[in-house]
Structure 1
């Protein structure tokens, strides 16, 4: 029987489900004390027993299944889901993930931290960061390099997580990571420079549709800075994210990334103290501070200090807590009897239905990159298959996956499938088996032998032959082979064997950089040596030649399947970018050794990111890619390799050639740098959208419902797809658009729509796409808005970004854009048309963007095209220059290459101390040189910041 106090609490208005949500939130918010409200700003919001309010925690990881909570269904990595191009499948995976999250929330009490509330139903997924650079360590977490592709799958996953009940959420999706986060090296201090076109056409474009659809309930700010300002204090949170959400009727609940609020002071030095930084983050729109783990006292204390100092007020706290409470009501916390998802039981975790879904997802994500007829395999003709490589007999978990409930490896999956057809599989890892003998003690390291695998950049794992466990560096610097799995934040199990002369090698830890040494007294081995000179010299004794064993297995088989790729925790992961896209040297050598004796070799790449497979593409008859596909990887690959299923996946990002020099990882300007299929000029090895089939498709009869449209109109695009092959198969019909003869640097082509279609042999289907003119728009820097220029366009149907099969013209009618007006109008320098050698920086800590030379020793250039200077008699510029900057600084202004004026830039005292510098242009004005339309160039010399300029038609007043 309920106590009187509980009964009284249950009668309070916020407990009344008949009241509107807003009124219930208001009632509960007003009943909380100031201390209770401010305490709710931490990730671990404490309970309020007097009101019957439970403790609440933000955030459960749910990227491709529920993570970090033990065994749960593991679906393919997000990049693998991106390869499916299948929104309905991704929605189903989101649903399965949230169903399992509900089961953990309701039934896994031992996992609950005392006093910290149950497992959170706020799901920190999906990741919408675009896969701009394939070297990104977290490439596995994103869906695609294209914003339309990413947004469509992101929205589908969110809808699956949230469910379709109008009043209650099954789980609350949080979009990661806002914004322009695509590098790991120094991620907390690097700045992503986003010019307006890149910001609006690319990075924001992945988030905008998902938020505007109402599918997302929150977002997480990114670690990095954008244009010199940390994302956790970005004005874009309010100006963009929350503005998009307004029509949905709900607000976004925005959370910080782990420890990022503290980063504002510590590594970033953006603020002087934590109270100031936390206040700025709260005012910028951060509602929950994930900082200091379960230690709420520290971040809450900082916020309380900010309140006492007047840096924030109660209204700022109210606003953030209101958003949290709204979410908690929608998750059913205060109406358990009405929650349609409260009855979900633990039996759904890794249920047969979810296993089947995992298998379908893994199968649909497999991409056939090359095939000259080797695949599908025919067990009658090739009954004996050698499955070779470091990933032939193992599956990997990544940082954001659950514990695999079971593992169907490639060798096991093929073995089962072939065995049922009278065939057999021979498995060979191809790893060298070695012993490391101390030249000091003559003892073997660990008194055992190790199998050695190269994961790239000479990063090796050493696995004990007797136990199958990995050699691991312990906290006391000792070495023990006791790790069954590589899955810790700091990986202790990777080493390098460095040549030391005379055939000896040094054993070096990748984690610490130190070398193994042997104590001359007791013979104990410890990784303590700081230099090669003080390190132990080991004799590397090869007990088994892995390549030779692989060759023998391949020679004895009818066909070889070589399974190579990455380990998700090694050489390319969160906190660590790759330096290139090359296959690990040891793996490349193994592949070549096998191919030399068995030309009938299929390469299966299992990886979190693209590789440069130039040699394999030239010499092998078949190449297949899959991401780390989860527990059902082996069954899925067996079905595809043996022809039981079609290779239905298509690449979600470009696979570049090995000799193609990629842009600098920190150059986020996809336009000038030439990133992604939209702007990269060199032909890729495998283009975005690429994927082969076992059947054949034809596209025909491309037509438009009309030949021209207005800038706010739309057109229907119709095309017929036919399966002219002998097998059932799937095709992804990709619809692209291209602008012709533009006044701006337009993409080579840009994805506008897509549809995945499954057809029986001989079947054809007419497909219709609605193409709004907005899909042709670009961000007009002159007007600060999306614009559809009148003129010629092309609508293209393609198999990939490099395989266009049908094209038809489309005309947009309307008035031609007028020259840019700069006279008697303030023009922001960030709104340039083109640039060279500039960096984008912050105007102040609250908002605004300016430009500065990337290197003060080199001039930086801004170009403004088609500028009308008629009537200009004066120019004023807004500049800032800190004390102590060496040398002179000036701004040179040219029209059509002719110098108009050069203005000296004074020291203003601080990078945020802005002043206006101007001069008259009487001689130029009277000569008529400035009349008409010109290309205007600004050249920045020296160290200073430039915010804006203004040409005036009247002289300055005295």
Structure 2
């Protein structure tokens, strides 16, 4: 007799709603199984047939860290396209490759941690390459497009599940796990939150990843904003994945909690659903969660809430419905379409910054291609391995013919002589031909290539080996053998020529020369050890260092000058290596090009005024472009970078990339790296009042475009604006038309102009198109700190249409009825101190560890806060302040008398132990007045109250 088939459990029934199926599966899991799911690497539950699952697959501009994949331009390059349709198609290609790769390798995940939507507020931020723009609306539009492509267009199932990084206000790598971003309410709502909100409301993201830093004194991993804002934007279950190691930071580096059980419980209650900590070993996180349960810091309901969010993502990815998953058979990998898309994206990302007629290049004549990046196709930390490779030199060879193109890299050729008179010697590599072949085919992954120990270490010899020395700035050097292998240090400390490129989490290919007596020490930066000559070979190790003499056999600028003088035109390719001086964990220190590259540029343009500067970089630079006839910029453009650049230089493609952030003229124009107040600090194109080197939205074309017939009509729901763009040039080209707005007589500081809309359009010579923009009233709103909500102020608003934020061709004005602002009802509701209008010398800190804000003077010194239009009624008889710590609070009328001076009788000790101080006031005038608070000492001030 055949045993009856057991009934299919409801969680396996594809006809039931996901919510019912999740509840059923959750009810079948034991508590230990549910706790296990909370680590990044969730184990399989074999008794239920549930597979193992891990959150996290990097896919910023292609599938990363999993070997060969199509590599698209860096995120900042995708932002420079200003083209949502293109970026959506890139996201779609990346998600198709993720699915195809997973079919052969289960390590490839479908919960992708991309894109990064942190705003490019500060160009010295080490992760500038990962963001899209300094503008929140442009960032939101590009992020929504990319995640729409990653998600797929099926109404039920997702191709991949994108997670936005990094929540919130994260723009510094310096002490990134301990610094706090002081973010006033207006900046929070008008700037930082806006970048995340669009994609969440569009339903194209599965969740977010909190950032390492603190915001207003509270770590992002226990932020109430996850509940108050993020989860309020959608009815969908959102998955919050911690950043790597961040849960442990809550105790270990931030000292925000005393125990890991407290920290883990607080993060879970705040909304973190997946803990990325201790690598693949989940035992530590599991023990902490169980400890928190035993101590009563967590409930099973808290755990179930997080597991339910995880399961929601897994069901949407089709894991439990393989027969219905429309993406289960995806095999699109390195297709001709993906290769063409990588080239199209690279072409659209090129920004022509200046052109005095030298470009496009003439169809005849000799071209000198020079510079440290001329024959490089650099990858960054979040790249996959190159399947195809195209450098600027290779692209120009292909386009113009190798017989017309001369090359000079411009490296310094050096020998390193020891104190004994011998020279550093690089032994030949037994596998050099194979290494070279694999490099040419793009089969090596510099970001993941481990230190090799199978090659012979460096030695010393009478003749020595001539090395290529590049100074990337700040004295950081790389040294390369004649066959292209970089000197690197493996775990055994030996120096070998073993790396295809600098790379890795700790870069083992960088050095520094330090003066020492009559010579120089060579210090290896990865280990911090000096280079020594030992009987077993050359090592980076503690002990008596070797003193070297640097013998320069050829200066790079001499080779560049020779090539430039013999050419009709020179293309100088300069920029950065994404693993050196500006990357994750390391901010830049200056906008300037490294001195060695400045010398190469100077040598080229001195020898030949017909010089084109091509910057290939993850960041803006401050360059002297006054006597350069042409300047271009592109981010590292992935596998098709060289081909794309050559086609733009040749005029096969008219450039139409636009700068996604301001290029400042020098370091003096920059705010402090840790000053997150874009309003008070007058930061980004929104508020910057200086003269930029190149403005936000800037980019030239080989065509000329005219603008005309701007109209703007106020409708019931907003403003409808339209204008015409015409290609008045002789070639077909793209134009990126931009529409900005400005409040004419604002009651509070508003942006000089802010982007309201843009269109990238392709027009044939003589062709015109009329562009229509439907702008909701909310596009003109600001965050009213007095009312704690968005408000559209009544009055005139200027609309500005043109080719950049500074190249305005048309303008018109509309009048919006709006809503008049009301005075602050301070007698009725008091003042939350963080809701200031202006401040100096203060920062916002956490009122409690769970929620709320307070204000404290910077460094325990003196600070001031200004609150405008406070309604004191007929007058007040008492002032109260809620404070902790020690110091003094003075409450005064702006331009008037001191109302009260209050100080705790003794320090409160605990910064979260607030006391309320009161002081009577005599004869205070009533009416609507501006109030000023002066705060002195190590004092936190949370609220001010007034009694009539």
Shift of 1:529: 5.0
Task: Tell me the residue number matched to 1:449.
Answer: 466
Instruction: Give the structure 2 partner of residue 42 of structure 1.
Output: 39
In the alignment, which residue of structure 2 is the partner of 1:505? 520
1:105 aligns with 2:102: yes
Distance in 2 of aligned mates of 1:399 and 1:172: 21
Q: Which 4+ residue blocks in structure 1 deviate beyond 4 angstroms?
A: none
- Tell me the alpha carbon deviations over residues 276-322 of structure 1, each in whole angstroms, 9 at most, x when there is no partner: 10000000000000000010111011001111111010000010000
Deviation at 1:544, TM superposition (A): 2.2
Alignment-derived partner of residue 464 in structure 1: 481
Take 2:735 and 2:160, find their aligned partners in 1: how far apart are those partners? 32
1:742 shift after superposition: 1.6
**Paired residue secondary structure (1:261):** helix
- Please state if 1:370 is matched with 2:378: no
Report the secondary structure of 1:125's partner residue.
coil
> How far did residue 526 of structure 1 move?
2.9
| Residue correspondence of structure 1 range 89-100 to structure 2 within 5 A | 89-100=86-97
Show structure 2 runs of 5+ residues with no match.
426-457, 459-463
Change (3 A) 1:559 1:57: same
Kindly indicate whether the alpha-carbon contact (under 8 Å) linking 2:884 and 2:915 is maintained by their aligned counterparts in 1.
Answer: no
Q: Which residue of 1 aligns with 2:893?
A: 894
**1:571 aligns to 2:587 (yes or no):** no
1:604 and 2:614 correspond: yes
- Give 1:28's match in structure 2, choosing from 17, 25, 28: 25
Asked whether the equivalents of residues 500 and 506 of structure 1 are also in contact (C-alpha less than 8 Å), the reply is yes
**What are the superposed Cα offsets for residues 531-562 of structure 1, whole Å, 9 maximum, x if unpaired?**
xxx53221111222221111111111211101
Q: Tell me by how many angstroms 1:454 deviates.
A: 1.8
* Aligned residue among 726, 730, 733 for 1:729: 733
Q: 2:633 aligned to 625, 646, 651, which one?
A: 625
Counterpart contact for 1:430–1:550, Cα < 8 Å:
yes
**2:368 equivalent to 1:386:** yes
Task: Pick the aligned partner of 1:486 from 482, 491, 502.
Answer: 502
d(CA) in 1 for partners of 2:34, 2:200: 27
Distance 1:945 1:538 in 2: 55
Deviation at 1:15, TM superposition (A): 0.6
Q: Does 1:936 align with 2:946?
A: no
In 1, Cα distance between equivalents of 2:161 and 2:878: 52
The alignment status of 1:88 with 2:101, answered yes or no, reads no
2:190 partner SS: helix
Aligned equivalents of 2:507, 2:819: Cα separation in 1: 60
**Helix, strand or coil: the match of 1:850?**
strand
Q: What residue is the counterpart of 1:239 in the other structure?
A: 228
Normalising by structure 2, we get a TM-score of: 0.94
1:844 aligns with 2:848: yes
Query: Which residue of the partner structure matches residue 65 of structure 1?
Result: 62
Change (3 A) 1:487 1:349: farther
Partner residue of 2:217?
228
Aligned to 2:783: 779
Alpha-carbon distance in structure 2 between the residues aligned to 1:651 and 1:8: 62
Select which of 524, 533, 538 maps to 1:525: 538
| Conservation of the 8 A alpha-carbon contact between 2:891 and 2:931 | no
Deviations 1:385-409 (A, max 9, x none): 1110111111111000100112111
Pick the aligned partner of 1:767 from 762, 768, 771: 771
SS at match of 1:669: coil
Which deviations, in whole Å up to 9, do the C-alpha atoms of 1:340-367 show, x marking residues without a partner? 111112xx22211100000000000000
Corresponding residue SS for 2:639: coil
Match of 2:333 in 1: 349
Question: Deviation of residue 375 (structure 1)?
Answer: 0.3
Distance (whole Å) between structure 2 residues aligned to residue 32 and residue 607 of structure 1: 50
Q: Secondary structure at the match of 1:91?
A: helix
Q: Secondary structure at the match of 2:860?
A: coil
Match of 2:433 in 1: none
In the alignment, the residues of structure 2 paired with residue 815 and residue 272 of structure 1 have an alpha-carbon distance, to the nearest angstrom, of: 48
Task: Indicate conservation of the 8 Å contact 2:880/2:919, yes or no.
Answer: no
Shift of 1:501: 5.4
Instruction: Pick one of 375, 378, 382 that aligns with 1:400.
Output: 382
Kept in 2: contact 1:367–1:691 (CA 8 A): yes
Instruction: Work out whether 1:872 is the aligned partner of 2:875.
Output: yes
Q: Give the structure 2 partner of residue 812 of structure 1.
A: 816
CA distance in 1, matches of 2:54, 2:839: 46
Q: Deviations over 1:97-152 (max 9, x none)?
A: 000000111122xxx4xxxxx52111110111000000010000000000000000
- Aligned partners of 1:660 and 1:682 also within 8 Å: no
Q: Deviations over 1:595-628 (max 9, x none)?
A: 1011111011000010001x2x111100000000
Bigger mean CA deviation after superposition, 868-877 or 128-137: 868-877
Task: Say whether the 8 Å CA contact 1:689–1:800 is kept in structure 2.
Answer: yes
SS of corresponding position for 1:350: coil
1:186 paired residue among 153, 175, 188: 175
> Whole-Å Cα distance in 2 between the matches of residues 432 and 4 of structure 1?
80
Aligned-residue offset at 1:472: 1.1
The 2-side partners of 1:743 and 1:580 are apart by 36
8 Å CA contact 1:896–1:934 kept in 2: the answer is no
Question: How is 1:333-348 mapped onto 2 (pairs within 5 angstroms)?
Answer: 333-345=319-331, 348=332
Structure 2 residue 840 is the aligned partner of structure 1 residue 825: no
Partner SS for 1:400: coil
Instruction: Name 2:439's counterpart in structure 1.
Output: none
Within 2, Cα distance between the matches of 1:517 and 1:338? 62
Equivalent residue for 2:393?
A: 411
Verify the 8 A CA contact 1:894 1:901 in the aligned structure 2.
no
Q: 1: CA distance between counterparts of 2:162 and 2:749?
A: 36
CA shift for structure 1 position 4? 8.0
Contact 1:872-1:951 at 8 Å conserved across structures: no
Q: Give 2:200's aligned residue.
A: 211
Contact 1:796 1:807 in 2 (8 A): yes
Q: Distance in 1 between matches of 2:881 and 2:873?
A: 21
DSSP-derived class of the 2:615 partner: strand
Normalising by structure 1, report the TM-score: 0.93
Q: How many residues are paired up? A: 909
Counterpart Cα distance in 2 of 1:336 and 1:868: 63
- 8 Å Cα contact 1:723-1:763 kept in structure 2: yes
Contact 1:905 1:944 in 2 (8 A): no
Taking the aligned partners of 1:715 and 1:209, their CA distance within structure 2 comes to 20
Name the structure 2 match of 1:684. 692
In structure 2, the residue matched to 1:949 is: 944
Aligned 8 A contact 2:826 2:946 in 1: yes
Match in the other structure for 1:309:
295
SS in 1 for 2:124: coil
Aligned partners of 1:500, 1:695: CA distance in 2, in Å?
57
User: How far, CA to CA, are the matches of 1:909 and 1:160 in structure 2?
Assistant: 52
Aligned residue for 1:157, secondary structure, equals helix
**1:8, 1:123 → 2: CA distance?**
36
The correspondence of residues 158-177 of structure 1 with structure 2, limited to 5 A, is 158-177=147-166
Is the 8 Å Cα contact of residues 57 and 119 (structure 1) preserved in structure 2? no
Shift in CA distance, 662/814, structure 1 to aligned 2, threshold 3 Å: closer
Once residues 910 and 549 of structure 1 are traced to their aligned partners in structure 2, the CA distance between those partners, rounded to angstroms, is 65
Q: Deviations over 1:819-872 (max 9, x none)?
A: 221112222001110000001100111111100001223x20000011121233
- The alpha carbon displacement at 1:874 in A equals 3.3
CA distance, structure 1, for counterparts of residue 520 and residue 409 of structure 2:
23
Q: CA deviation at 1:177?
A: 0.5
- Please, which of 698, 703, 712 is the counterpart of residue 704 of structure 1? 712
Q: Secondary structure at the match of 1:721?
A: strand
Note the aligned Cα RMSD (angstroms): 1.6
Which string of whole-angstrom CA distances, capped at 9 and with x for unpartnered residues, describes residues 691-715 of structure 1?
0000000111111124xx67xx311
1 CA distance for matches of 2:99 and 2:881?
55
Distance in 2 (alpha carbons) for counterparts of 1:442 and 1:455 = 27
Native 8 Å contact 1:875 1:949 kept in 2 = no
Distance 1:329 1:101 in 2: 17
User: CA 1:487–1:23 in 2, change beyond 3 Å: closer, same or farther?
Assistant: same
Q: Aligned equivalents of 2:507 and 2:899: distance in 1? A: 59
